[in-house]
A and B are shown apart, each in its own frame.
Chain A
Amino acid sequence: MNHAQSANKAAAARLETALMSVDGVTLQYKTPNHLVTATYRVSLDIHKTDRLVLLGPSGCGKSTLLKAIAGFLTPVEGTITVKGKPVTGPGPDRMMVFQEFDQLLPWKTVNANVMFPMLVNGVPHEEARARASDAITMVNLAKFADAYPHMLSGGMKQRVAIARAMAMKPDVLLMDEPYAALDALTRRKMQDELLQLWQDVRFTLVFVTHSIEEAIVVGSRIVVLSPHPGQVRAELNSGFAQNDRGGPAFQQLTTRISHMLFDDEATSQATEPAR
């Protein structure tokens, strides 16, 4: 009784501050032959204006968790809530930039692709046009506004997808390894632009990556996930300015995280055959 009460109180307190909360979420895929557990009892809170990074090795369930937050997958256990309401399906309040390249509508030009979700959601045409052109300029694709997606490189397509999501001004912006396909220089530029944009607009971001450095640069809070099936290994604060990159504190955090990731990898590999 007492215990339940205090738990309720804690939950209520969390609701006040958390924009979104993931509570004990287990996600599974049913394949014809297997039941694959992608994440196991993951809990985390996303506060307004957070830049929350999900960091973990390939296959640990980062994309799966992000898709569940977006509303495409229903947890087999636990709940995901936005502003206290359970997530029941995808919606334009949680725009997502996917990891895959084929997320643009091939029958629309870059400009039309960016305008499309706004028009669907009742933004007036003129305003949509203005917001789209701002967003496209922001990702440096103004010259390609009238090109069709098949004329763009992989990285350019990702930038269009980012512009499309940004222009919607969603409550939460979900990004799944958006810069993984970019060259180091462009990636760095895009990270800077994302942070600059965050300075200006203060949106809430959930960002998936498997690069420790990117996690530290982009994130204000880093959730480290363990290898498959993903569990929360740690939640850390980050908060480095762009030019801190490579400084001693930066290095220290990098080492700390890589120990977490790689030591776990080693132990899980060591224990696996024994089971």
Chain B
Amino acid sequence: MSETNTMFASPRPEFEHKVTAPVGLGDVAKPLSFAEKLGANPAFRRGVILVVLALTWELYARWLASPLTFPTFLETLQALLDGIASGIIPQRLAVTLETLVVGYAIGLTIAALFTTAAVTTRIGTDLLSTFTAMFNPLPAIALLPLALLWFGLGRPSLIFVIVHSVLWAVALNMHSGFLSVSETLRMAGRTFGLRGMSFVFKILVPAAFPAILAGLKIGWAFAWRTLIAAELVFGVSSGQGGLGWFIFENRNTLDTASVFAGLLTVMAVGLVVEGVIFRSLEAHTIRRWGMQSA
């Protein structure tokens, strides 16, 4: 038909451009206003939510006017400050954290041994998968009565329960992390002459670190919740009560504001460990290595 879309149409013009050096291209930006900067800051936005929450709490509690069942925010804050000033809350927290660290460390060690056995021998693999299948669904707290029977009223029972709560979650994650390390990376490690333990620690562990870290986080979460619950159930022995016991004790004396203060402390520790410790661990390891997107 028309000549314009045949091969003989006048050809489109050709271009050749001089490429300029990209100087100053990065400067095309304007500073944000103060309000925009604040709005972009997640800490600020979350802080606003907390303030609103505290305000609602205060108003509702005042309206309810029943300090025995629901103390006001300010009363709770006062109880918290008193508890800290008198040294009771820090002391109870220290007891809890000490138990936790011991239990967590033992759990991790056993998990590491178990996983090493599982990646090096077939019987180890079978044992690990059978045991995790059996024990992982069992809430650790359900073992507390048994632990009390075996170890008596005291720290060893708590540690037993924590170890149980940490061990299986961490072992499962570590193992699947090791299995997912790429064949090329393994071969590279072996051409360097790495064998046995040094292969595990210099290649497998860092390569599986995202999964290991996920395991550590899950293990921590289980351990922390389990421990507070266990302390609530059987409380104290020889003056060695932890945070759970602090909460229980104050409920018995109907000091509800202190019960709330204890709960706030439990939350605060959880937030610090998850939001600060694990977060910075992630930022310095897997995110920096590009093994996890930010």
A residues sitting closer than 8 Å to B (CB atoms) are 67, 70, 72, 89-92, 94-96, 98, 100, 102-107, 116-117, 120-121, 148-151
Contact: B185 with A102, CB < 8 Å? yes
Known: A96-B187, A98-B187, A103-B185. A116 touches B192 (CB 8 A): yes
Known: A117-B192, A121-B192. A90 touches B289 (CB 8 A): no
Name the contact of B188 in the complex, choosing from A67, A98, A107, A151 (C-beta under 8 A): A98
Known: A102-B184, A103-B185. A89 touches B190 (CB 8 A): yes
Please report the C-alpha to C-alpha distance between residue A102 and residue B193 in the assembled complex, in whole angstroms.
18
Contact: A120 with B191, CB < 8 Å? no
Please report the C-alpha to C-alpha distance between residue A188 and residue B124 in the assembled complex, in whole angstroms.
50
Q: Which residue of A lies closest to B186 (CB)?
A: A72
Interface size counted on chain B using CB atoms at 8 A: 21
Please report the C-alpha to C-alpha distance between residue A89 and residue B182 in the assembled complex, in whole angstroms.
19
Most buried by A among B193, B194, B285, B291: B193
Interface of A is mostly: loop
Closest Cβ of chain B to A139, distance in Å, is: 17
Known: A94-B191, A120-B193. A106 touches B289 (CB 8 A): yes
In chain B, positions 184-225 with a C-beta closer than 8 Å to chain A are 184-185, 187-188, 190-194, 198, 202-203, 206-207, 209
CB neighbours of A105 from chain B (8 A): 185, 188, 203, 206-207
CB neighbours of A98 from chain B (8 A): 184, 187-188
Please report the C-alpha to C-alpha distance between residue A103 and residue B188 in the assembled complex, in whole angstroms.
6
Q: Which residue of A lies closest to B202 (CB)?
A: A120
Contact: A150 with B190, CB < 8 Å? no
Please report the C-alpha to C-alpha distance between residue A91 and residue B291 in the assembled complex, in whole angstroms.
28
Contact: B194 with A120, CB < 8 Å? yes
Please report the C-alpha to C-alpha distance between residue A121 and residue B185 in the assembled complex, in whole angstroms.
18
Known: A106-B289, A107-B206, A150-B289. A91 touches B184 (CB 8 A): no
Name the contact of B193 in the complex, choosing from A67, A72, A92, A150 (C-beta under 8 A): A92
